[in-house]
Amino acid sequence: MNDYFQVAIIGDIKCLIDMKKYSNFINSLLVCLILIFSSAVERKPRILIIGDSISGGYTRYVTDHFKDRALVMHNPGNAGDTGKGLTYIREYIGNGDWDIILFNWGLHDLCYRHPDSKSAGNRDKVNGTITFTVDEYKANLDSLVGIMKELSDAKLVFVTTTYVPENEPGRFSKDPIIYNKVALQVMKEHSVMVKDIYRKSKAIHKVHGFGDDDVHFTDAGNNELGKLIVEVLEKALKQ
């Protein structure tokens, strides 16, 4: 083999080696760019809150808390009682690809109503009829949890029903305790995470409630409830 061909072969080998090094560099660069791009568009956790006006009140605090780390949404309007929940649960969950669904039903289930009552929502615990008995509530809640598990892989978090003051016209103060007890049984059967806020909601309502005839909270009260909800959501996000 003459010198010319030897030089040519050696040159080709060097070229192949250089091309391999260049190819490795390009591949490494592409991997880095993909990682940088993926980090820049990292998907935020998605949290759905389902509930009545109480949850609507604390959702603003929760949303503000997670504004840079998670997307927080509340079901449209008021989720009402478990009967309404069974009607609309598929609509609430939709195709949201939720990571966490935090939910409560209770205050509307244990409410007594009468068509002739002058109170808002026809509330009347003297002459009215209860919306759902505790047994009906338990059965409905059991069905709702089953449906949510069927529709979504999200981690479920149940929040207990809040305090009812003595002079509320359509609700008995003792009933949240009774309804919460059966709700906790349902959650245990389904291995659902629970945030029990009843006792603390009572203390908060004494200071930041709208009076002894109203279950709702002032903005300050909603913020205090929101702090309790944030606690359980932070825990759920780490699991």
How far apart CA 6 and CA 11 sit, in angstroms, is 8
- Report yes or no on whether pTM surpasses 0.95: no
Helix (H) or strand (E) holding 74: strand 71-74
CB neighbour burial string for 107-129, b if at least 16 within 10 angstroms, e if fewer: bbbbbbbbeebeeeebbbbeebe
The type of residue at 2 is: N
Name the nearest CA neighbour of 221 among 47, 66, 53: 53
pLDDT band at 39 (very low <50, low <70, confident <90, very high): very low
What tokens appear for 138 in the block? 């338990």
Domain boundaries, the chain: 1-42, 44-238
Predicted local distance difference test score (pLDDT) of residue 33: 47
> Do the Cβ atoms of 48 and 71 come closer than 8 Å?
no
DSSP secondary structure string for all residues of 8-51: HHHHHHHHHHHHHHHHHHHHHHHHHHHHHHHHHTPPPPEEEEE-
User: Quick one: 44-238 is in which CATH superfamily?
Assistant: SGNH hydrolase (3.40.50.1110)
Mean pLDDT over 215-234 rounds to 98
Mean pLDDT over 68-83 rounds to 97
How confident is the model over 44-63, as pLDDT tens digits? 999 999 999 999 999 999 99
Return the SS3 of 122: helix
